[in-house]
A and B are shown apart, each in its own frame.
Chain A
Amino acid sequence: MSDEALPRTGFMAQAFANRSFVAGFVITAFIAAVALLSFFWTPYDVTRLIVADRMQPPSAAHLLGTDQFGRDMLSMIMVGARNSIAVALVAVGIGMGVGVPLGCWAAARGGYIDDVLMRFNDIVFAFPALLSAIMITAIFGPGAVNAIIAIGIFNIPVFARVARAGALAIWPREFILAARAAGKGKGLITAQHILPNITNLLLVQGTIQFALGILAEAGLSYVGLGAQPPMPSWGRMLFDAQTRMIVAPYLAIIPGMAIVITVLGLNLIGDGLADTLDPKLRRRR
């Protein structure tokens, strides 16, 4: 009845009053800052191999130790963060950029266009995403760009579905009728009325897909299809560490923790945003 169904203005201000959102935001901002810092400064050069220093446990000189080639783990984690975030972010961008217009179009047009688009969506959903991404990168060659495209493609139907569902809930509202009575076409109504009212939904889905993208990138580089050496990546670091798990467990634990913390931070943001979006979901405390 009231406008409770639609988020009010001041959405971000409300989000910052939410504990899990703030916790997630702090974690994510830290990771992002580290990734940015790596463009200008890392403790050591990640492309220089110093075999004499190989596999050193954490120490004052190497805060997180060194790997089997003597590279500084902290520096690699920093550059790896840059790589993970870039891949996941661009993949989310592809998913949103293609999926949201498709979803809005389907919702606005209805009829057979809606049917065709959504059945196509269902078909893409039916493919196991990570395995298909492996297939795509295996065919077109490994590398960060192909990983981005592969992950991005599987983000499209997710965003299309969310955008369509959100738009369908807005279309029957009276302010849309009023806009139609003001002679506005479907495209203009989508841009001016539908999109501003589904941004919050998309934001929540965006953080979730971002987290999944980081996991997918780690998965792809673990099997050697992501970013190629010497570019460090968290997944590849895990792969390299697995044969040395007994001798130097920190080689696996450190990149593993980096992935876990980043994904946790993003999921907390997503939860916080979703709670803010729908107060009824908020658990009683």
Chain B
Amino acid sequence: MSLLDIENLSLDIGGVPILKGVDLTISAGEVVGLVGESGSGKSMTALSIMRLLPEAARVSGRIGFNGIDLLAASEDQMCALRGDDVGMIFQEPMTALNPLKTIGEQVAEGIRWHTRASRTDALALARKMLDRVGLPVNEFPLSRYPHELSGGQRQRVVIAIACALKPKLLIADEPTTALDVVLQAQILELLRDLVDENRMGLLLISHDLAVVTEMADRITILRGGEVMEAGETAQTLSAQAHPYTRQLAQASMHVPARDHRPRPVAESKDVLLSVRNVSKIYPGRRMSLFGKPTQTRAVDDVSFSLPAGRSVALVGRSGCGKSTLARMILALEEPTSGTIAIQGETVSGRNEASLRHIRRDMQVVFQDPYGSFNPRRSVEWLVAEPLHLLDSRPGRAERRELASQALHEVGLQPSDLGKYPHEFSGGQRQRISIARALITRPKLIVADEPVSALDVSIRAKILDLFADLNQRLGIAYLFITHDLTVARAITDEVMVMDQGRIVETGNTAGVLSHPQTEAARTLVEAAPDMHRAIAKKMQEQG
């Protein structure tokens, strides 16, 4: 008998259907992947199991867990189950912990509540659990607060809380989406081990097909609240019997068609961006009232140059200094030392007025398609904003014309000009963001994780767009990412950054297949790879 048995689960919230007849089973010790794009109902399925749905939700069907019908269970029964037999891990480790409580207290809290254990016993168990998830007590005493830990460490605490009482079923909702690839690999390995040790059932929810392929025994693919296909992972993904499965699989490995022929020598000799011995030191926090503040070296003596029309990736783990470097290149922050020059003109140490003609040649695309627009302004206004940099202030009609041209460039309609950002989806907003970057016809676009917040199929389209613009308009890119698939897809060269330094440079294919340095090797090994995972799974099964 399976541990969790969802039959014909349907859900509507305020009359809007969210799930339509979802079936799903999980046995003890089994990992089931639930895959789908945003809005497909993955998280709502998880919340239905926990009975943590919003109040306006109406559910029908059956969720059997260990012989109990969860949909018929009373709230008291559910309280006894949640956190005891069913544990849950959330996506955002920054908000899943109470910032005012120590990690020890937070792990012990659930233990005390469910087992009525004494404080000392609960803390002893918490200590053991934190030790198990890789936070040994001599390095991470129970008295630590969440803000003293990094993102990966916090996610370990969340896992410790969820697994402290050895739940029969663990639900992990995008547990690694907020983490970089290296941390992701570590957390996934930890989850895998915990499943094996305790014969837990694990429901792994993710939009990342590669992650699920590596982890899951079986996979369920969800779209628009309906199960498209379900089955054994390796088989399902290699056969790709269902058209949507094929579409997802292809999108997640998508490589835009690009011209890889070596460019004319004259063109690539033109140095567009040159960075010489650039460092950035942040003053740290003062630890005592009269003490000297400690310093953080975010970027440490970095030098490189970028030829015109080239597309270069800057990869590294979170916190390695890549975004700081990008901001210095964009003259949004001053380097502590060193020089940055665009087409031979120094960027640093200038005032805004003398920066104008330089800024015209470099624009930026940010990661978060929601945060990068002022919600109170129309698309026309937002896209035309960089026209502020032109010396001849274009008139109203001309601005409109240029904005509509830029929208056309990224595949949007002129009729979108009058709309507001909230009327667009994440992928469309990212297009608007690119349109805004294009409007001054820059020679360089710095893109800071431009596709990591997007679903795979949308990501593929945006990558195509970037590649197309590079070919047609000859724009050079500096792509900042921790995702090697993205780097591989659209860049000629890659620079690997680690702790503020660039440790390895080379052409993309070379560095990613034969990494020379430790930092690069760690990144490459940690990156989930769907082909590799399927092959491995097939081999295991013989």
Contact = CB atoms under 8 A, between A and B. Distances in A.
Contacts of B517: none
B380 to A, nearest CB: 14
Contact of B372 (A178, A182, A185): A178
Nearest to A199: B376
A59 interface: no
Contacts of A173: 371
Interface residues of B, number: 32
Interface in B358-384: 359, 362-364, 366-368, 370-377, 382
Interface stretch (A3-11, A36-44, A215-223, A247-255): A3-11
Nearest to A7: B375
Contacts of B436: 178
Given A177-B364, A183-B355, A284 B374 contact: no
Contacts of B367: 174
B370 A185 contact: no
Contacts, number: 73
A9 B371 contact: no
B375 A178 contact: no
B75 interface: no
Contacts of A184: 385, 388
A180 interface: yes
Interface residues of A, number: 24
Contacts of A175: 371-374, 382
A187 to B, nearest CB: 11
Contacts of A178: 364, 366, 372-373, 385, 433, 436
B324 to A, nearest CB: 13
Nearest to A172: B371
Given A9-B375, A193-B374, A196-B376, A181 B332 contact: yes
Contacts of A2: 370
B197 interface: no
A183 B372 contact: no
Of A1, A182, A192, A193, chain B has the most CB atoms within 10 Å of the CB of: A182
Contacts of B385: 178-179, 182, 184
Contacts of A185: 352
Given A182-B388, A182-B389, A193-B374, A174 B422 contact: no
Contacts of B356: 183
B107 interface: no
Contacts of A193: 374
A14 interface: no
Interface in B323-367: 327, 330, 332, 352, 355-356, 359, 362-364, 366-367
A197 B327 CA distance: 24
A197 B41 CA distance: 32
Contacts of B371: 3, 173-175
A214 B45 CA distance: 53
Given A178-B436, A284-B55, A197 B359 contact: no
Contacts of A192: 374, 377
Contact of A183 (B327, B368, B377, B388): B388
B386 interface: yes
Given A174-B371, A196-B374, A181 B364 contact: yes
Contacts of A174: 366-368, 371-372
Given A3-B422, A9-B375, A174-B372, A181 B330 contact: yes
Contacts of B140: none
Contact of B359 (A3, A9, A182, A284): A182
Contact of A197 (B55, B355, B376, B386): B376
Nearest to B91: A1
Contacts of B366: 174, 177-178
Contacts of A182: 359, 385-386, 388-389
A194 B96 CA distance: 30
A187 B263 CA distance: 44
A271 B352 CA distance: 42
B420 A197 contact: no
Contacts of A9: 375-376, 420, 422
A274 B433 CA distance: 31
Given A178-B436, A179-B385, A181-B386, A8 B355 contact: no
A182 B371 CA distance: 16
**Which of B363, B364, B385 has the most A CB atoms < 10 Å from its CB?**
B385
A173 B374 CA distance: 9
A7 B385 CA distance: 21
Interface in A71-85: none
A284 B330 CA distance: 46
Given A2-B370, A3-B375, A183 B421 contact: no
Contact of A177 (B55, B332, B376): B332
Contacts of B355: 183
Interface string A1-41: 11100111100000000000000000000000000000000
B364 A6 contact: no
Interface of B: 55, 327, 330, 332, 352, 355-356, 359, 362-364, 366-368, 370-377, 382, 385-386, 388-389, 420-422, 433, 436
Nearest first, the 6 closest Cβ-Cβ pairs linking A and B are: A182-B386, A174-B372, A196-B376, A174-B366, A174-B371, A183-B389
15 contacts: A9-B375, A9-B420, A173-B371, A174-B367, A174-B368, A178-B433, A178-B436, A179-B385, A181-B330, A181-B363, A183-B352, A183-B359, A184-B385, A196-B374, A284-B55
Interface of A: 1-3, 6-9, 173-175, 177-185, 192-193, 196-197, 284
